[in-house]
């Protein structure tokens, strides 16, 4: 996903969900991948849904885990930052780091490995990372999920929805609503798990993924 992780974070590049969906489709074409198994989390949900429903990418099996997929999404903090990006860009480095750490901690309800936590924080601490962190708030737009919500029943592959029951960012009710729009999907919750199941309960997530992805 351009603008995330170790990818380039140029000041002029867009990182919105319309761009992410197109780039994911282009990557599958570049790698000549036909019907890959896709596991999507958070913004990866809308990204891969757009690639599948708007750009013709076929998946073999498809997992949606605590995903951004339906309106409304984003928190009050998310909206506030999006309206005042310039003010946040001027924060001193140590305060910016505290904001990033507090933001990520707000997603989880269980302790995670300190190294994993640092790897979540690190991409956003450099000068270019700081800019990309706040720009993604400004470029977030619910129209990119509104565009595909009516198409969820048209997903062309087996689907499993997995949801951490205690997600502070995207409540369980949103997962249930998503399931109602994808009635052919199986749906499973993870008790006592927040927004980052892959880090909060990795063994449990692996068991659920293997059970679904290994089916013939």
The pLDDT tens digits of the residues spanning 30-56 come to 999 999 999 999 999 999 999 999 999
Cα–Cα distance for residue pair 96/118, rounded to 1 Å = 14
- Segment 122-164, tens digit of pLDDT: 999 999 999 999 998 889 999 999 999 999 999 999 999 999 9
Domains and CATH numbers, the chain: 17-213 (3.40.50.1820)
pTM confidence score: 0.95
């Amino acid at each position: 996903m351009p603008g995330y992780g170790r990818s380039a974070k140029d000041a002029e590049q867009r990182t919105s969900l319309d761009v992410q969906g197109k780039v994911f489709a282009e990557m599958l074409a570049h790698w000549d991948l036909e019907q890959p198994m896709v596991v999507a989390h958070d913004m990866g949900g809308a990204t891969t849904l757009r690639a599948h429903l708007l750009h013709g990418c076929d998946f073999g099996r498809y997992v949606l885990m605590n995903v951004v997929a339906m309106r409304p999404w984003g928190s009050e903090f998310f909206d506030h930052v999006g309206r005042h990006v310039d003010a946040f860009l001027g924060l001193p480095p140590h305060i910016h780091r505290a904001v990033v750490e507090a933001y990520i901690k707000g997603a989880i309800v269980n302790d995670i490995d300190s190294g994993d936590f640092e790897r979540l924080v690190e991409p956003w601490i450099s000068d270019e990372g700081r800019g990309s962190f706040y720009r993604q708030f400004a470029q977030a737009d619910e129209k990119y999920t509104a565009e595909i919500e009516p198409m969820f029943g048209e997903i062309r592959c087996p689907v499993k929805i997995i949801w951490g029951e205690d997600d502070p960012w995207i409540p369980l009710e949103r997962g249930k609503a998503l399931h109602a729009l994808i009635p052919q999907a199986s749906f499973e919750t993870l008790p006592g798990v927040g927004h980052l199941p892959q880090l909060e309960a990795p063994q449990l997530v692996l068991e659920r993924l293997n059970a679904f992805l290994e089916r013939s």
